[in-house]
Amino acid sequence: MSVNATADTTTRPRNSKFKQKFKQQRLPAWQPILTADTVLPAFFLIGLLFVPLGVALLLFSDSVVEFQVDYTDCNSTSDAHQIAVGEYLQCKDVITEPSFVHGTDTCMCQIDFTIEKTLEKNVYMYYGLDNFYQNHRRYVKSRDDKQMQGRVVDEPPSDCRPFDADPDSNEIYAPCGAVANSLFNDTLRLFVTDTLLGPQRKVPLLKNDIAWESDKNIKFHNPPGELNDSPDGAFKGTVKPLYWTKPVWQLDEEDPNNNGYENEDLIVWMRTAAFPSFRKLYRRVDHSKSQFKNSLQNGPYMLEVDYNYPVSSFGGRKRMILSTTSFLGGKNNFLGIAYITVGCICFLLGVIFLVIHVKFGERTTKHLNINQNTPYSE
């Protein structure tokens, strides 16, 4: 008999035996036996760990100071929108007029409010929208990521329709899609109105470092060329989106590093929200100024808004939020409440099962030592 034949006869039984065990699911495995001695400590351990952790998360969340101002129904300050002595149209009605829609009118409103508790640095300004479903599947898909990365796009994807190109000139929208077309375009300004500290002062706000670093460095880049639509420009052959008042290369004419697709307001908006009520970072309070070095002091303030963004058509609301943060982020009680709830439920179940086990259960060793000689008992 040859050497190969001998090798086949010696290896075949071993391979077939392994395959047989594998197919019959008889390979060595760890099968935990859930008994009272193992389950009850787990319930109590989860309860003892989760409840203190949830309390700690709630304490960190409560340390965040937050203040909100709803400005959806604010009145215009322009005499052109006066309907009676001391009475003005609401900006949400002004922006539906034909003169505003065609870009020949503006609406500014002011809201006075008082911050009751000092906001220690760092202080952030957010805008909030309610009843806006950025999580709708067709809305989320309506964008062109290749275009946002600065690539030359001759034909936008079908997902951008109907916001893909101008129907008259057939020029591509820059950027295309429903997400970009619905960009939030209200302008928010904050003023200190405490007369004891002198005349009205504008709170300095920073518009940089409000977007994710990964978005700025990877996902959003301008095409090569000057930021204009000239024949050699970065945005040649494109037009502004349908509902925008200015093209993408004029979003921030003061800072070329914050213009075009690299504009941080645009980047923040393009990261769609998961829920219909959401907030997005708008500005950061500049704490390098001496008057606001360590905090935003309590007292009277005034919010001034260039009101452009319509929300009445979908029953939405708009608000401005001032907030501090903790190392966990902004104010959010959900995580702490969830940990406490799960911990209490586990601890309660542990107590219930322990009572049942003590009253009706039997020792685990009694079941493990059962053999053919063990007498049967009902």
pLDDT tier at 180 (50, 70, 90 boundaries)?
Answer: very high
Examine the pLDDT at 163 and tell me if it is beyond 90. yes
Residue closest to 248 by CA, chosen among 173, 314, 311: 173
pLDDT-derived band at 327 (thresholds 50, 70, 90) equals confident
Residue 27: pLDDT band with limits 50, 70, 90? confident
- pLDDT, tens digit (0-9, with 9 covering 90-100), for 72-109: 999 999 888 888 777 889 999 998 877 665 455 679 99
| Rounded Cα gap, residues 342 and 325, in angstroms | 26
Rounded to whole angstroms, the Cα distance separating 101 from 295 reads: 40
Higher pLDDT, 358 or 132: 132
Tokens of 336: 């702490």
Does 3 have pLDDT greater than 50? no
Q: Give the containing element (helix H, strand E) for 341.
A: helix 334-360
Distances (CA, A) of 316 to 181, 191, 310: 17, 26, 9
Query: Average per-residue pLDDT in the chain?
Result: 87
Predicted confidence (pLDDT) per residue in 252-308, tens digit: 988 888 999 999 999 999 999 999 999 999 999 999 988 888 889 999 999 999 999
Residue 84 identity: A
0.75 cut: is pTM over it?
yes
Residue 123's pLDDT band (cuts 50, 70, 90):
very high
Sign of CA dihedral 51, 53, 55, 57: negative
Confidence grade of residue 138 (pLDDT, cut at 50, 70, 90):
very high
- 148's tokens: 């946002």
- Sole residue written with tokens 């829920």: 275
Dihedral pair phi/psi, residue 147, rounded to 5° = -65, -40
Give me the amino acid identity at 165.
A
Q: Where are the domains of the chain?
A: 36-63+331-356, 65-325
